[in-house]
A and B are shown apart, each in its own frame.
Chain A
Amino acid sequence: MHIIENGNVAAALGVLLCRANVIAAYPITPQTPLTEKLSEYVESGEMKAEYIPVESEHSALAVCIAASSAGARAFTATSANGLLYMHEQVQWAAGARLPLVMCVVNRAVGAPWNVWNDQQDSISQRDTGWIQMYCCDHQQIIDSVIKAYWLAEKVSIPIMVCYDGYILSHTYMPFEVPDQEKVDAFLPPFRPDYALNHEEPANLNTVTLPDVRMDVRGEIAHGYMEIRYLLQEEMRTSLTVVAEAEKRFTDIFGRGGDPFIEPYLCDDAEYIAVGLGSLTYQLRVSVDVLRKEGIMVGVMGIRFYRPFPDVAIANALKGKKGVIVFEKALSYGYEGALVSDLKSALYEHLAGTGALPVVQNFILGIGGRDIRTEDLTQTLRAATKSRVAKEPVWIGLKI
C-alpha cells in the first residue's frame, strides 16, 4: 500500500510491522511524533506490545536492555541530548549483545540549546559498538527498521536507524508500506539463544576478569577482552550479513540495491560527493546542474556507517580524481569523523596503486543552518577545480 506520511510515521509503521513487543520512550523533539504514534497503536490495541512511558532516556534504554535480555523484541527512539543521556546504556546494550533497534532522529546537541537538525548526536556514538544505518527518505526509514531487526537478531548487535530531524521526520512523502505477511516472512519471531528465565537461571553481565577463567566444569570461559574482541570481530563479519539482509529483502519485497552505498551517477564520474542521510539526495540536484556544465561529478550516500564498509567505499572511489565529503558533524579538534574513516579506507585499499583520489571535507548544516542547493553546487564546482583547503571548510559560515 502506498501512503503519504511523515518520516516519523514511516518509522512507527516499521516498528508496528516488526511486531516489537516492548517499547519504552521519553519525549524529545523531533522524535516525539514517532513514539506518540506507537503509544496510539498500543493503546488502540492495534499493536500487541507493552508501552512504558519512562521518566528518562537512561531508563528507556534500561527497559529495552532488560526486556531484550528476557526475550522481548524491544524498541526505543530518541534524539540529541536524549541519546547523550543514554550513553552509558548505549555502551551497555552493545556489550551485552542485545539486538535492540533504536531510531535516532538526528538533531544538534547542546550547548547552546538548539532543536534543529545536524548529525552530531549519532556520530558522537560511533564507537559504542552499535551498527549505524543512515536513511535518505521515508521508504528507506521504514525499510531500514525492518532490515535492522532481522540483522540485529542475526548478529546480536544493536542497531541505530538514523534519519534527519525535520527534513525527514516532519516532512510528508509517498512511500510503500509493506504487507504484514511479507514482513512476517522476512522477519521470524525473536528467539534468542538464551533469555532470562527462572528454569535455567543465569547471572548475566557479572564482573568479568581481565583474563580468562575456568568455570565449575573445568571449561575455560572468556575474559572481558575476549568478549570485547568478539564484538569487534562479529561487527566486522556482520558486513556479510548486511549483504545477506539486502538480498533477502530484495527477494521478498522486490526493492533493494547496494547494501552499503547508494551511488548516483558515479560510474563515469571523476569527482564524487559523499555524505550521510538526506543531504545526499539534495546533492543529486547539484550534480544534475554540474553535469549540464560538463563537470563529471556524482554523489554517493553511505548507508552503513558502522560497521564501516571500507571495501565497498574504496572500490567505488578507486581511480576518481577527487572525493568531496560533506558532513553535518565533526570530531572537534580535527575534521569530520566520516572523512577520517573514509581516508583510512582509501589509504588501506588504494595506497600505492596510483588510484588514490584527493579528499576534501566540508562541514555544513550545523544546528540546522540552512543548506542551500546553490551553495552545494558552488562548493562542488570549486572543489572539482582545485583543492580548496587542507582543513575542513565550513559552508555558509557568517564569521
Chain B
Amino acid sequence: MQAKTTILSLPTEEFVHPGTRACTGCGLAIAYRVGLKAMGKDTILVVPPSCLTVLQGLFPIASTKLACLNVTFASTAAAASGILAALKVQGKDKIKVVAWAGDGGTSDIGLQALSGAAERGENFIYLCYDNEGYMNTGVQRSGTTPIGALTANTPFKGKLQQKKDVPAIMAAHNLSYIATCSAAYPLDLFDKIRKCVDMPGTKYFHIHIPCPPGWGYDPKYGIKIGRLAVETGYYDLYEIVNGEFKLTAASEKLVEKRKLKPVREYFRSQSRFRIITDEQIADIQNSIDAKWATYYKKDE
C-alpha cells in the first residue's frame, strides 16, 4: 500500500491560480486545487458548463494552468474520448486526460456520453463533483439532489425523490476503478487519483462538494459539514477496484469505531433541509443504520 499523503508531503506546485471566481468557502475550489496537484502538468482537462467554468475564469484570463477544453454540457466524456484519440494518433499517449463535471453534467445530461465512453473503455479519469444541484444556474434540483432538499425548482416541498446513485451506475460498467471522495478530505482524493492513474479504461470519481449558497450554511463551516456527511454515515467514502468494494479512509475508520454521529446533526446544519421533519430524519437514520449494519457484518 502506498504511503498516505499528508499536508507536508503534498506537492507544492499549484495548477490553480489564487483568487478564482468560486464563492467563498466553495468545496469545489478545494477539490480542484488538490485534484490537479495529483494529476500534475502532463494533463489535458475537459470541462462542461458548470460552476467550474466560472471558477476557471473569463476570457482571456484563466485561473487554471493546465490545458483545458471547454465543451458542451452533454458531451464531456465524448470530448475526452476525442482528445484521447487525437493524442494516440500523434503518439502522445503519455498525456493524461481528465474530465471534471458537475452532478447535473454527469448524472443527468452527460450520463449517456459517460456511459458510452465507459463502455468503450476510454482511458481517462472522470471526476464528478457533486454539489447536489444545478448551482451555476441558481440551485435547481438535479438527479443527485438528496431527498428533502429545497431548491429553486423544488421550492416548498423539497425534492421528493432519492438521490441517484451514480457510482453504482458506473459500477455496472465494470470499471477498473471507482472512488467516492469528499472535498472535506482532499488528501484522500489526492491519494485515490494517484492510485488509479495508470489503471486501464475509464476511472470514475464521485466527490461530495459542500456549497455554501446552494446548501445554506455559513461558508466557514464547509469542511465541518462535509465531514459530518461522512461521520454520520450518510455519505460513504469507498473504492471499487476491479469490482471489489471497500470502505476507505474516514468511513473505514467508522467501521472500526462502530459509532456514527446522528444524521440529524447533518440535516440541521443546512437551511436547504429546513422543512424536513424529525420523522423523516428518523426514517433516514434507520436506512443509514441498516446500511451500516451490513458494513459491520462484513467486518466481523
Spell out A's residues near B (CB within 8 Å).
21-22, 24, 48-50, 52-56, 58-60, 62-72, 74, 88-89, 92, 195-198, 200-209, 213, 215-216, 221-222
Contact = CB atoms under 8 A, between A and B. Distances in A.
Contact of A70 (B61, B78, B86): B86
B53 interface: yes
A213 B60 CA distance: 7
Report, as a range, how many residues of chain B touch the other chain. 35 or more
B70 A65 contact: no
A22 B67 contact: no
A66 B115 contact: no
Nearest to A66: B82
A54 B74 contact: no
A195 B89 CA distance: 14
A207 B58 CA distance: 5
Contacts of B285: none
B86 A198 contact: no
B67 A202 contact: yes
Contacts of B56: 203, 206
| Of listed A53, A70, A222, residue having the most chain B CB within 10 A | A70
Contact of A205 (B54, B69, B77, B80): B69
Contacts of B81: 24, 52, 54, 59, 62-63, 66
13 contacts: A49-B89, A52-B81, A55-B115, A59-B81, A59-B113, A62-B72, A66-B69, A70-B69, A72-B86, A88-B72, A198-B66, A207-B54, A221-B60
Contact of B75 (A59, A67, A201, A202): A59
A209 B43 contact: no
B95 interface: yes
Contacts of A196: 44, 67, 69, 83
Given A52-B81, A58-B78, A206-B56, A66 B86 contact: yes
Contacts of A207: 53-54, 57-59
A342 B112 CA distance: 42
A198 B67 CA distance: 6
B78 A63 contact: yes
Contacts of B82: 22, 24, 52, 62-70, 72, 74
Given A22-B82, A69-B83, A56 B59 contact: no
B250 to A, nearest CB: 33
Contacts of B68: 201-204
Nearest to B116: A55
Nearest to B74: A58
B62 interface: yes
Contacts of B89: 21-22, 48-50, 72
B78 A198 contact: no
Interface string B251-281: 0000000000000000000000000000000
A222 B58 CA distance: 12
Contacts of A68: 82, 86
Nearest to B115: A55
Contact of B87 (A53, A70, A92): A70
Interface of B: 41-44, 46, 53-54, 56-62, 64-72, 74-75, 77-83, 85-90, 92, 95, 112-113, 115-116, 119-120
A54 B65 contact: no
Contact of A62 (B59, B78, B115, B119): B78
A145 B272 CA distance: 56
A129 to B, nearest CB: 15
Contacts of B120: 52-53
A72 to B, nearest CB: 4
Contact of B112 (A49, A55, A74): A55
Contacts of B113: 55-56, 58-59, 62
A110 to B, nearest CB: 20
A77 to B, nearest CB: 16
A398 to B, nearest CB: 41
A74 to B, nearest CB: 7
A43 to B, nearest CB: 15
Contacts of A52: 81-82, 85, 120
Given A52-B81, A63-B81, A71 B86 contact: yes
Contacts of A88: 72, 74
A205 B70 contact: yes
A201 B95 CA distance: 12
Contacts of A198: 41-44, 66-67, 95
A89 B95 contact: no
A204 B112 CA distance: 24
Nearest to A196: B67
Contacts of B72: 58, 62, 88-89, 92
B79 A66 contact: yes
A65 B61 CA distance: 22
